[in-house]
Structure 1
Amino acid sequence: MKSLAWLCLTVVSLLLSGPARAAESIVAEGVVGAPVAEVWRAWTTTEGLKAWLAPHVDIDLKLDGLMRSHYDPNGSLGDPGTIENKVLAYEPERMLSIKVAKAPEKFPFKAKIGDMWTVLYFQPTADGKTLLRIVGMGFGADDESQRMKAFFMQGNAYTLAQLQKHFQK
């Protein structure tokens, strides 16, 4: 009887924790006014990233390659303000997954940044534009994770808006 009660308790626990974990992802989604190939190049080439993301940026698009960025025009890649993202996976013109490998020195959530990752999905629309979906995952229920989640909700929405603005020319 105890094993049946344990089994029931385990199943209920798993059922209750599944949706809670799924709710911990964040999504920024919008249409970018360019074909997928152009939006992909904007995200996956050094030239493309420099055009809209940050004054200092480079990317080595390969598995375990790095995407480094620095948002301060007075900084330089490799200094303490550099953000390094590792390329986890990609499918050309469809999906890019990255994870922070090294946070900038003053990043406020260093204890939790290693738990999260981002997946970008590039989907063509019927009118030749791109639906870009940026999904952040790996946020816990603790206070620091929740504050980091709010930080990335704003940051990802801003990043999407900057990319949309870049293609409005």
Structure 2
Amino acid sequence: MFKINFKNILTLFLSVFNLAIHPVYGAERSIDKEVLVAAPIEAVWQAWTTKAGIESFFAPEAQIDARVGGAFHIHINPLGAAGEKGADDMRFLALQAPTMLSFDWNAPPSLPEVRKQRTFVIVRLAAVDDKTTKVNLHHTGWGEGGEWEKAFTYFDRAWGNVLANLKARFETGPKDWSEWMAQLKAMMQVQKK
């Protein structure tokens, strides 16, 4: 007969807690970010699912085909060689307008072993009111050790920047990429020497 007492309750609690954090049995490691955007949900949806929208906050160049299996190519470095522009050859995995989109994702070219593989991003939008949208970003599918740790750290920072740019896009206007492009051109000139 199982007796309900403090020791049994504590043992059960610790067992459940251990499952929640155990690296083999527990929850998948993920990056989770959230931001409130001063824009209607439809406008935020368009920002994530159109070429003009992506180029207004995420990257200076994009190829977007907002359908399942469609292109979600985000070129942080449009001057780079094929395969080194940023999120090359990414695809939409699911779209539920105007509340959810997901896509596969890769690591930057500086992490070549991890770049060969894919992680997954889910973006959820929720209307707070007519003029405000809550954006939740969930990035999962991470491996362990080596370049995976570097990629996780990189994207933990990068997604915060992307969402800050999204917020700013609706507060002060689309991002001006001219300074970024000038820096890229200067870096490429140095590399050629």
**What TM-score do you get using the length of structure 1 for normalisation?**
0.78
Matched to 2:135, the amino acid is: L
Instruction: Say if 1:43 and 1:49, in contact at 8 Å, map to a contact too.
Output: yes
Question: Does 1:140 find its partner at 2:140?
Answer: no
In structure 2, runs of 5+ residues without a counterpart are 1-14, 173-193
Question: Does 1:131 find its partner at 2:124?
Answer: no
- Compute the displacement of 1:55 (Å): 1.4
In structure 1, runs of 5+ residues without a counterpart are 1-12
Instruction: Say if 2:28 and 2:141, in contact at 8 Å, map to a contact too.
Output: no
Provide closer, same or farther for how the CA distance between residues 79 and 23 of structure 1 changes in structure 2, counting only shifts above 3 A: closer
Q: Who is 2:103 aligned against?
A: 98
Instruction: Say if 2:32 and 2:136, in contact at 8 Å, map to a contact too.
Output: yes
Q: Who is 2:164 aligned against?
A: 161
CA distance in 2, matches of 1:43, 1:124: 15
The CA RMSD over aligned residues, in Å, is: 2.7
- Compute the displacement of 1:109 (Å): 5.0
Deviations 1:107-157 (A, max 9, x none): 315336624211000011036311000111012332332221111110110
- Compute the displacement of 1:15 (Å): 8.1
| Runs of 4+ deviating beyond 6 Å | none
Q: 1:81 aligns with which of 65, 80, 85?
A: 85
Q: Percent identity?
A: 26
Matched residues, number: 155
CA distance in 1, matches of 2:153, 2:170: 26
User: 3-state SS of the aligned residue for 2:91?
Assistant: strand
CA distance in 1, matches of 2:41, 2:52: 16
